[in-house]
Structure 1
Amino acid sequence: MWKTIFRRVLVMIPQLLVLSLLIFVMAKFMPGDPFTGMITPDTDPARIEQLREQAGFYDPWYVQYAKWMGNAFQGDFGKSYTYKVQVADLIGDRAMNTLWLSLLSAFLLYLIAVPLGVLAGRYQNTFLDKTVVLYSFISYAIPVFVLALIFLFFFGYKLQWFPTSGTVDIKYDNGSLSYLWSKIYHILLPALTAAVLGTTGVIQYLRTEVIDSKSADYVRTARSKGIPLNKVYSGHIFRNSLLPIAAFLGFTITGLLTGSIFIETIFAYPGMGQLFINSIAGRDYSVITALVMLYGFLTLLGSLLSDIIMSIVDPRIRID
């Protein structure tokens, strides 16, 4: 398996190179540049042209790409034109915020979806099953920004149960338990929103697998041997029903790490999703290209992780 993983990692290199070229060229096709927003009636046009020339915007695109890739291999993705800091440092700070949000979102997602999916499949066509199915349809139909705004208004402003912006209360010192709790408290509402929106697929997969497994031969054999029904569900049906979920677990993890643009923007949460949309608005090419490269890498990593997880969950599957 390790040889296969090594080969898959090697294949990622040319894929990322092609992706980097496409990203760089498409970024250059975007109208305007980071200095366009600096133009006012009092701005000297010569100064703007000087800044563009210093940034290398007038060099041929292949020269700019070669310089960018050479610096990227050394871990230098340039400097953000908007935030005036190194791109690697900027993304690193935002990535930690997104990581916290992603971990809690994934935990809440499976905490909600797995029991509902199993119970709906076990008690098929009952009131419980119909309620879960109705919940799945509603959560699937509601757009992200609509549910986020509803949760923000109701739980944040109306009931005032949760903070409505930020990542931590500034009155606490970093490293203290109060600081840790404040950080968790600030991300509970956006994490719950992301979790509710992500439960639909997991619930439907689990429900379908449990329903199919109830009539499988190994279940009838286990029941004929006198094994209690609860043990059949926990030891046989549930384990086999988790296989489709495991297949998408890698994509779920890496997908959450990319950050949710709508959720982070609405909740004013400074993560990578919010950074991405702000960078597009500000034509911050260095941040845009670095983020899309990171998203591409996480997508490829998610595919590999899903294969590895599947091979661990089901010994019959081997990645070749």
Structure 2
Amino acid sequence: MWKTILRRFLVMIPQLFVLSLLIFIMAKAMPGDPFTGLITPETDPNRLEELRQAAGFYDPWYVQYYNWIVNAAQGDFGKSYTYKVPVADLIGNRALNTFWLSLLSVVLLYAIAIPLGVLAGRFQDTFLDKTVVLYSFITYAIPTFVLGLLLLFFFGYQLSWFPTTGTVDIAHEKGSMGYIWSKIYHMLLPAITYAILGTTTVIQYLRSEIIDSKSLDYVRTARSKGIPVRKVYSRHIFRNSLLPIAAFFGFTITNLLGGSIFIETIFGYPGMGQLFVQSISSRDYSVITALVMLFGFLTLLGSLLSDIIMSIVDPRIRID
């Protein structure tokens, strides 16, 4: 397995190289430049030209790309034109916020989806099953920004149960229990929103697999031997039904780590998704290219994680 994992990581290198070239060319093809937003009636055009010259904007594109890729290989993605700080530091701060939000979202997602999927599949065609299916249809049909705005309006503004922006209350000292609870409290509403929207696929896959497994030979054999129904479901049906979920579990993790553009923007949560939107608006090329490269790496990593998880859940599958 370890040889395969190393080989897959080596294959990522040319893939990321091609991705970086495409990203760089498309970023340069965007109209304007990072200094366009600095233009005011009092702006000195000569000063703008000096900034463009210093940033190397008039160098040939291949020279700019070479300089950028060499620096990126050393962990230097340049400096943000908007925030005036190194891109690596800026993304690092936002990535930490997105990581904790993603972790809470994954926990809530599977805490909701797995019980509902199991119950719907076990009690097929009952009122409970029909209720779960209706819930899945609604969460599948409703757009992310609509649900986010509804929850923010009712629970944030009308009921004032949750904060409506930010990551922590500045009144708490960093590292204290109050600070930790404030971080969790600020993440709850956006995490619940993402979890509700993400349960649809898991519920449907799990429900379908359980319904199909109930008629298989090994299940009928287990029940004919007098094994209690509860053990048949927990030891036989449930484990085999998890295989489709395990197949995309790696992508679920890495997609969450990439941040949710809609959710982070709606709830004013300073994560990587919100940073990506703000960077596009301000034409902050250095941040855009670094973020898209990171998202591409996470996608490739998600594929590898899914293969590893599948080999652990199902012993018949090996990635050697």
Normalised by the size of structure 1, how large is the TM-score? 0.99
The answer for the alignment partner of 2:184 in structure 1 is: 184
The answer for the alignment partner of 1:138 in structure 2 is: 138
2 CA distance for matches of 1:62 and 1:242?
48
Identity of aligned residues (%): 81
Q: Note the C-alpha offset of 1:262.
A: 0.5
1 CA distance for matches of 2:153 and 2:51?
43
2 CA distance for matches of 1:212 and 1:111?
23
The answer for the alignment partner of 2:36 in structure 1 is: 36
Q: Note the C-alpha offset of 1:44.
A: 1.2
The answer for the alignment partner of 2:263 in structure 1 is: 263
Q: Note the C-alpha offset of 1:47.
A: 1.0
Q: Note the C-alpha offset of 1:251.
A: 0.2
The answer for the alignment partner of 1:151 in structure 2 is: 151
Aligned-CA RMSD value:
0.5
1 CA distance for matches of 2:31 and 2:314?
50
The answer for the alignment partner of 1:210 in structure 2 is: 210
The answer for the alignment partner of 1:301 in structure 2 is: 301
Q: Note the C-alpha offset of 1:42.
A: 1.4
Alpha-carbon displacement from aligned partner over 1:85-122 (angstroms, at most 9, x marks no partner): 00000000000000010000000000000000010001
Q: Letter of the aligned partner of 1:298 in structure 2? A: L
Alpha-carbon displacement from aligned partner over 1:208-247 (angstroms, at most 9, x marks no partner): 0000000010100000100000110011100100010011
Q: Letter of the aligned partner of 1:25 in structure 2? A: I
Q: Note the C-alpha offset of 1:19.
A: 0.3
2:10 aligned with 1:15: no
2:305 aligned with 1:310: no
**Structure 1 spans left out of the alignment, 5+ residues:** none
Runs of 4+ that moved beyond 2 A: none
Q: Note the C-alpha offset of 1:197.
A: 0.5
Alpha-carbon displacement from aligned partner over 1:137-157 (angstroms, at most 9, x marks no partner): 000000000000000001111
Q: Note the C-alpha offset of 1:134.
A: 0.5
2:47 aligned with 1:47: yes
- How many residues are treated as equivalent by the alignment? 320
Correspondences of 1:164-313 after superposition (within 5 Å): 164-313=164-313
Q: Note the C-alpha offset of 1:126.
A: 0.6
Q: Letter of the aligned partner of 1:118 in structure 2? A: V
The answer for the alignment partner of 1:83 in structure 2 is: 83
Describe the SS at the equivalent of 1:49. helix
2 CA distance for matches of 1:38 and 1:256?
34
2 CA distance for matches of 1:136 and 1:158?
26
2 CA distance for matches of 1:224 and 1:140?
39
2 CA distance for matches of 1:106 and 1:181?
18
Q: Letter of the aligned partner of 1:184 in structure 2? A: I
Q: Letter of the aligned partner of 2:78 in structure 1? A: G
2 CA distance for matches of 1:87 and 1:41?
29
Normalised by the size of structure 2, how large is the TM-score? 0.99
Q: Note the C-alpha offset of 1:63.
A: 0.1
Q: Letter of the aligned partner of 1:301 in structure 2? A: L
Q: Note the C-alpha offset of 1:73.
A: 1.0
The answer for the alignment partner of 1:70 in structure 2 is: 70
The answer for the alignment partner of 1:160 in structure 2 is: 160
Describe the SS at the equivalent of 2:56. coil
1 CA distance for matches of 2:236 and 2:219?
7
Q: Note the C-alpha offset of 1:159.
A: 1.0
Q: Note the C-alpha offset of 1:29.
A: 0.3
The answer for the alignment partner of 2:107 in structure 1 is: 107
2 CA distance for matches of 1:201 and 1:86?
38
